[in-house]
Amino acid sequence: MTLFHGFGSTVPDIGRLKDAGDIPALIHHLSNTDPSVRWHAAEALGTCGEKAVPPLLAALQSRVIPVRLGTIEALGAIRDLRAVSPLLVVIDDDTSLEVRWAAVLALGEIGSPDAIPFLVPLLRDPRRYLRYGAATALDRLGWLPQNDADTVYRLIARQDWEAVRRLGAAALPPLRDLLRDNDPKSRAMIVSILGQIGNPQAQMACQKALKDSDPRVRWRAVLAAMNCGLASHNLPLMVAGRERTGPDPAAAALLNFLFLGIGYNYIGKWWGFPVFMTYMSVLVLAQLAMGPFLPYLIAYPLTALFGIHTYYLAERMSDL
């Protein structure tokens, strides 16, 4: 049964399907284009109890991400231990970060201590969502850190930066390790904490951060550097050793040589595309008057000069 909604579209009656125990239909609606339908279908499946577990475990193999997400949410609500091993496989193999994150949280809801050895290593994962999910799940499972390193990783996963700072030198190894975090905001915060701790053992980590691809991380590293024992006069040389992320001067020059104006557009000049359109219009008119090849012979020496100009413009652009 469906309800009419909007201009002839229909909304499935999730409540009726839930009352009827129509598990296949509810699983089908996990792929509905309407997010609210998907949420209500997952919520309904979570109330269906143990009988829903086998079809839900089969639905974990779906290629559709919302189906896998809704399935995992339902399994977490049902809390059947049969879901533990399949969810661990999802954490290892699924290509979607959101699905893996959902599986981690579901394991915390299910409450099986068998998941603990698989969740603890996720506190060291370079993706902050998985770290946070692992910390949340481990809290629900009653896990307590076994050593100082696990304590710090857990605090970092929770984003409890003040507690990390108070630990001082004990926090340095995990902080150095997680400078490989995929998120630049997290890396910037880690560098700031290293500077606040102010231990010379953080020198290598600060040097690494000075070469980070993200300018926010590099700036935090500059501010933290002297507290980490780095001399201020060495900072420009260290920052200069970073991987360049700005426009490639050679590519800009080549683009302007072949397609005058596109090179300027590539380096961020808004007027580059109008220049290109004007150039192409003049070139086409010249070809109509002079033939297909002679206009290029005339144009290329001119565009070569613009290519050189673009090269030097791009080279002077800072990516600090």
Q: What is the pLDDT of residue 319?
A: 64
**What is the tens place of the pLDDT at every residue in 282-299?**
989 998 999 888 888 899
Mean pLDDT of 162-179: 94
Q: What is the pLDDT of residue 318?
A: 60
Split at pLDDT 50, 70, 90, the class of 13 is confident
Average pLDDT of span 182-197: 94
Dihedral pair phi/psi, residue 12, rounded to 5° = -65, 145
Mean pLDDT of 221-244: 83
pLDDT score, position 96 = 95
Handedness of CA 216, 217, 219, 220 (dihedral sign): positive
Segment 38-52 shows an average pLDDT of 94
pLDDT at 317 over 80: no
Please tell me the class of the 157-240 domain: mainly alpha
Residue range 244-262: mean pLDDT, rounded: 86
- State the average pLDDT for the chain: 90
Report d(CA 42, CA 73) in Å as an integer.
6
- H/E stretch holding 267: none
CATH number of 1-78: 1.25.10
The whole-number pLDDT of residue 5 equals: 45
Give the domain ranges of the chain. Answer: 1-78, 157-240, 249-316
pLDDT of res. 320: 59
Condensed to tens digits (0 to 9), the pLDDT of residues 113-159 reads: 999 999 999 999 999 999 999 999 999 999 999 999 999 999 999 99
pLDDT band at 313 (very low <50, low <70, confident <90, very high): confident
Query: Above 60 in pLDDT, residue 228?
Result: yes
Extract long-range pairs of 140-148: CB within 8 Å, 24+ residues apart: 140/108, 140/109, 140/111, 141/108, 141/111, 141/112, 141/113, 141/115, 141/116, 143/116, 143/119
Q: What is the pLDDT of residues 201-218, one digit of tens each?
A: 888 999 899 888 888 999
Burial of 219 (0-12, 13-18, 19+ CB in 10 A): middle
pLDDT of 1 reads 44
> pLDDT-based confidence at 12, cuts 50/70/90?
confident
Average pLDDT over residues 196-203: 90
At 267, the pLDDT band (50, 70, 90 cuts) reads confident
Task: Express each pLDDT in 80-103 by its tens digit.
Answer: 999 999 999 999 999 999 999 999
Beta carbons of 217 and 191 less than 8 angstroms apart: yes
Average pLDDT over residues 193-206: 91
Mean pLDDT of 270-291: 91
- What pTM does this model have? 0.75
Contact (CB, 8 A) for 267 and 275:
no
Taking 90 as the threshold, does the pLDDT of residue 242 lie above it?
Answer: no
1-78 matches 157-240 in fold: yes
Residue type at position 223: L
Residue 172 banded pLDDT, cuts 50, 70, 90: very high
Q: What integer pLDDT is reported at residue 178 of this predicted model?
A: 95
Which of 228, 209, 208, 229 lies closest to 219, judged by CA? Answer: 209
